[in-house]
Structure 1
Amino acid sequence: MDGFALIWGCLLAIVLAQVLAYILCHHRLPLFIRATYEWGKLLDENTSAFNRKWLVPKSCNKQQKFLCYQIIIQVKEVFGYLDSANYYTIKTSSIILSLVLLSLQTFRRLYECLFISKFSQSAQMHLGHYLLGGMFYILVNLTIISDGSFLTSDGDTFRLKDLSTATNIIGVCIFCWGSLHQHRCHNILAQLRVGSSSHNNYGVPRGDWFNYVSCPHYLSEIIIYFSIGFILSLDHQSWWLLLAFITTMLSLGAVQTNQWYYQNFSNYPEDRRAIIPFLL
């Protein structure tokens, strides 16, 4: 197991522990622990002054996105620091295509954060979430290139025609599908606060995948990262651990969000699941 697989494995173990804690003893946990897996509207409004010291405005998410620009620009410099003695199995074309798709995802999310999303003025997140978010965008880029054959002296060279494989084409189609629906869902959430006197208002989102699940933007995020994994192939073990971490973390958040909607809106659709239509 390489270093990045170990990192994502440890993060996955932490999230699984949070899931177990949420299932077994959520309401008995101290608020400072619950805040590590709750954010935004899910956080207790009566959080103590001590616990508030560890919270930052959720709109600080915008700052995290700028970290992506720095890491993407510096990717070439990173190559020289990676251990070329390891055995790499992923094709150069797959690595480059994955980096391009991740860049597109980053730029779109930055655009949405700056010009579309309307964050609640009272929404907050744990400082640990904020720091993890900053590290996450750096680790994702490094994880992609960590298993690339172009890092070794005898690795394959990039050829444009290598991009036109069936795996790459299908992966790009899945990526576009997930990105389209995530963009639509973020627009729907933003429209709930258009014309409102306060950005703190919440409403019941409807339309697109919101007709089936409470957090389709989380579902589409998982689909987007799955599409990159599809391109990288099953040989990229670090990426699939990353995907397991993302899936578990977002699923936990979706379940809590779904319960919050049911508790706060009497007219909330009874057949709407949390993140996976008809299942979860």
Structure 2
Amino acid sequence: MLSRVIFPPPNSLFITVMSMASLSFSVLGLCEGLGKNFEYSKFSNLNVERSTSKRNNTVCSRNGMLAAYTPAFLSAVTFSGLFPNVGLRFLLVNSALTMHFFKRILEVLFVHKYSGGMAVGTVITITLGYFTTTSITIYALSLTQGFPEPPVDLKYLGVVLFLVGIVGNFYHHLLLASLRTKIDKGYKVPKGGLFCLVACPHYLFEILSFLGICFISQTLYSFASTISTICYLMGRSYATRRWYLTKFDDFPKDVKAIIPCVF
């Protein structure tokens, strides 16, 4: 079944190893769900017993997220110049990744509101993760040139999923940003959009975006990295819902974490 929806794996030990490594990172989702969270956003100050030196080893969230997204964006732009004429599928994947991280950079600069900092180690980890995943996704697809197309073509479905995901993600980021003012930068229970059904609709639409990119590329690496991303965002959303329940008495108990009526 899998052979009908992905390109034959290229004769590349590097891609095979990175695909397996990417899949193994799914365990990060379990860690998030168990409370071992990356130190950014609302989880950056959970451990009040951190040492003074560790608290000082932070950067402001705005600069941290900008540093996390920019290398991945530049990677996608660079690959578009290195492989200018390699077919529609490659163009779509490269364009989607470029658009995805360009949107994130714009959100960091003009949409998101910040109230804390990010641990330097977290910034480095996220930056390397996005840069590596973006670069290898594009490189793995470039190795399929000359291979027969998968019997089941998912790229047009992928385009639709990506566009729905990126628009839905942006809309819910706007709703989150509207909760804060220059005077009041505290956390509130989000409302509007799909927040009436799930705690993290922005993660749900982000998953749709990455699924879209996965369906467009249809490579073994893209499937492995997407599974890892889904597991992480599900764990993160579960932890977020639990955080809302502990912090706000009025948070609706029937609101799920990320999948309406299911999880």
Give the TM-score of the pair, scaled to structure 1. Answer: 0.76
Contact 1:118 1:190 in 2 (8 A): yes
Deviation by residue 1:215-238 (Cα, 9 ceiling, x = unmatched): 1111111110101111122xx111
Which stretch shows the higher mean deviation, 69-78 or 203-212?
69-78
Residue equivalent to 1:67: 71
Contact 1:95 1:144 in 2 (8 A): no
1:1-280 matches, within 5 Å, as 2-16=13-27, 19=30, 23=34, 34=36, 37-42=38-43, 43-46=45-48, 47-59=50-62, 60-75=64-79, 92-120=87-115, 122=116, 124-148=117-141, 155=146, 167-194=154-181, 196-199=182-185, 201-233=186-218, 236-280=219-263
The Cα of 1:78 is off from its aligned counterpart by 6.0
SS at match of 1:240: helix
Query: Structure 1 residues 38, 211: closer, same or farther in 2, change over 3 A?
Result: same
Contact 1:72 1:103 in 2 (8 A): yes
Contact 2:96 2:213 in 1 (8 A): yes
Consecutive aligned runs of 4 or more in structure 1 exceeding 6 Å deviation: none
Which stretch shows the higher mean deviation, 102-111 or 130-139?
130-139
Which stretch shows the higher mean deviation, 11-20 or 244-253?
11-20
Query: Structure 1 residues 76, 175: closer, same or farther in 2, change over 3 A?
Result: closer
Larger gyration radius, structure 1 or structure 2:
1
Letter in 2 for 1:41: K
Question: In percent, how many aligned pairs have the same letter?
Answer: 24
Query: Structure 1 residues 92, 143: closer, same or farther in 2, change over 3 A?
Result: farther
The Cα of 1:277 is off from its aligned counterpart by 1.3
Contact 1:209 1:216 in 2 (8 A): yes
Give the Cα separation in 1 of the matches to 2:98 and 2:172.
20
Residue equivalent to 1:31: none
Name stretches of at least 5 consecutive residues in structure 2 with no aligned partner.
1-11
Query: Structure 1 residues 70, 185: closer, same or farther in 2, change over 3 A?
Result: same
Query: Structure 1 residues 149, 135: closer, same or farther in 2, change over 3 A?
Result: closer
Contact 2:29 2:233 in 1 (8 A): no
Name stretches of at least 5 consecutive residues in structure 1 with no aligned partner.
27-33, 80-90, 157-161
The Cα of 1:8 is off from its aligned counterpart by 4.9
Contact 2:201 2:258 in 1 (8 A): yes
Cα RMSD over matched residues? 2.8
Query: Structure 1 residues 145, 209: closer, same or farther in 2, change over 3 A?
Result: same
The Cα of 1:53 is off from its aligned counterpart by 4.9
Contact 1:92 1:149 in 2 (8 A): no
The Cα of 1:97 is off from its aligned counterpart by 0.7
Number of aligned residue pairs: give it: 244
Which stretch shows the higher mean deviation, 241-250 or 11-20?
11-20
SS at match of 1:203: coil
Deviation by residue 1:64-90 (Cα, 9 ceiling, x = unmatched): 2222343233216766xxxxxxxxxxx
Query: Structure 1 residues 210, 138: closer, same or farther in 2, change over 3 A?
Result: same
SS at match of 2:118: strand
Contact 1:8 1:245 in 2 (8 A): no
